[in-house]
Amino acid sequence: MAAVKSQAGPGAMQSATGRKKDGLVRHCVQEKADAQKHRPNSVLRSFSAGFGEAWPANLEQTNTVLSLQSSNVHLPYRSPESVEMDEIMAAMVLTSLSCSPVIQSPTQRDALPHGPLDMECGGGELSDSGSSGYWSWEHGSVSPAPSPSVTETDSSMGQLGDEGLRVEPDPGARDEPENRWCKSWSRGAYRCLWPSCGKVLTSRVGMKRHIRILHLGGAEQSHREEDFYYTEVSSEEEEPTSPSLSFTSGPWSSCSSTHSQPTSREAPPSSSAFSQSAPSSVWQIHTEHLYQAPCAPIETTKSPDSPSSCDWTSAGLQLRPQISVSRSRSVSVGEQWLQRNNVPNRSHTISASPSRGHCSTRKGRGEAKKCRKVYGVERRDQWCTACRWKKACQRFPD
């Protein structure tokens, strides 16, 4: 978008504005804490839940792979390195498998009350395991082609393949449009979701290794958990949208609004848990605003670097980067999300609406940079529309 914008003259701005309407939907399904149970099965379950039928086409293939795995697993001896690699592979397979529509595991499958898109509940507790900040789009993007290179896995994997995995063609199960399109536009970068890490690597294996070694302490048991601690990000998204937009402090990427999707956003399922949730999931937000900011996608990132998890509340929601939110609808992104999902919201989102409610009192100047500051008067055409019209800034709401 940024590029488009910059190239386009003022006149084009308007069209850009129009385009904005199709904000990007980052609909992400958040996994529940349950997923955190460190068990292979739970891993599979949770993933499957999140992905819905991500790649039905791969089911057969997947099964095949599993079979192979189960039959090849027990190798008398292998060098530590090879073992590690195998485990990595295993993790990859797991990841791939997670896309299967329904991976049933005999036990407590019903225990997980996740419905399609029920982020809210997941959010309820992103607890410590911290990885829960899982958004379907992120995972959905996990290479459509389930690492072909996988040839074998450790025994546990094999078992899973044999008994734990029963893939049934259940297209309707959790078929979310978002999942589909989401997966389509991400490609290769992986970001560590570990709190205050945010490392981005281009290889999945590398990321897994990073997580396992640095964050999971290389624990044996953790081999299959890496998946929870990283997320795939689209390189596309990483592209800077606008020069000054990226004040995000972390490695967080921004998303561009070039995608035609209604906007949606990840929001903290529960205001409080929010901060802790997803160690550092990226809150990418695309909002529409009344005034249709010409430029761009608004992106929000939860500041990863904030040592203390709770940032949302401080500094106007932390929508640091740019968020354009229409005042008329509440302002906080989180709120918006909550509203959409009928989640009883409230609490932290201070940022917003007060101004409208009791209008007389103009709220003091927020510390947030406004378009004027960011772009300067000379680049007024890059301001959000609201700013241009001398209205409350939509891009950088307080």
Partner DNA sequence: CATGCCGGGGT
Partner DNA sequence: ACCCCGGCATG
Nearer to DNA, 215 or 327 (CB): 327
Indicate which single residue of 132, 292, 330, 345 sits in contact with DNA (rule: CB under 7 A).
Answer: 292
Closest approach of DNA to the CB of residue 387, in Å: 6
247 binds DNA (CB under 7 A): no
User: Does 358 engage in binding with DNA (CB under 7 A)?
Assistant: no
Footprint (CB under 7 A) of DNA, residues 324-343: 327
Query: Among 116-124, 209-217, 264-272, 356-364, which window interacts with DNA (CB under 7 A)?
Result: 356-364
If one asks whether residue 388 binds DNA (CB under 7 A), the answer comes out as: yes
Least distance in Å: CB of 261 to DNA?
20
Least separation in angstroms between residue 290's CB and DNA is 7
Instruction: Give the 3-state secondary structure of the chain.
Output: CHHHHHHCCHHHHHHHHHHHCCCCECCCCCCCHHHHCCCHHHHHHHHHHHHCCCCHHHHHHHHHHHHHHHHHCCCCCCCHHHHHHHHHHHHHHHHHHCCCCCECCCCCCCCCCCCCCCHHHHHHCCCCCCCCCCCHHHHHCCCCCCCCCCCCCCHHHHHHHHHHCCECCCCCCCCCHHHHHHHHCCCEEEEECCCCCCCEECCHHHHHHHHHHHHCCCCHHHHHCHHHHEEEEEHHHHCCCCHHHCCCCCCCCCCCCCCCCCCEECCCCCHHHHHHCCCCCCCCECCCCCCCCCCCCCECCCCCCCCCCCCCCCCHHHCCCECCCCCCCCCCHHHHHHHHCCCCCCCCCCCCCHHHHCCCCCCCCCCCCCHHHHHCHHHHHHCCHHHHCCCCCCCCCC
Question: Which of 116-124, 204-212, 233-241, 361-369 is the region at the interface with DNA (rule: CB under 7 A)?
Answer: 361-369
Number of chain residues interacting with DNA (CB under 7 A): 29
Residue 344 or 362 having the CB closest to DNA: 362
Q: Which of 78, 346, 373, 379 binds DNA (CB under 7 A)?
A: 373
Nearer to DNA, 12 or 214 (CB): 12
Q: How far from 206 is each of 84, 151, 190, 283, CA to CA, in Å?
A: 12, 18, 9, 24
| Nearer to DNA (CB atom), residue 16 or residue 193 | 16
The CB-of-14 to DNA minimum distance in angstroms stands at 5
- Cβ 323 to DNA shortest distance, Å: 12
Nearer to DNA, 56 or 366 (CB): 366
For residues 8 to 37, the per-residue mask of contacts with DNA, x marking binding by CB under 7 A and - elsewhere, is: ------x--x--------------------
* Region from 84-92, 237-245, 332-340, 367-375 binding DNA, contact rule CB under 7 A: 367-375
Site for DNA contains 303 (CB under 7 A) = no
Among residues 116 and 366, whose Cβ is nearest to DNA?
A: 366
Contacts to DNA by CB under 7 A? 14, 17, 292, 327, 355, 359-362, 364-366, 369-373, 377, 385-393, 397-398
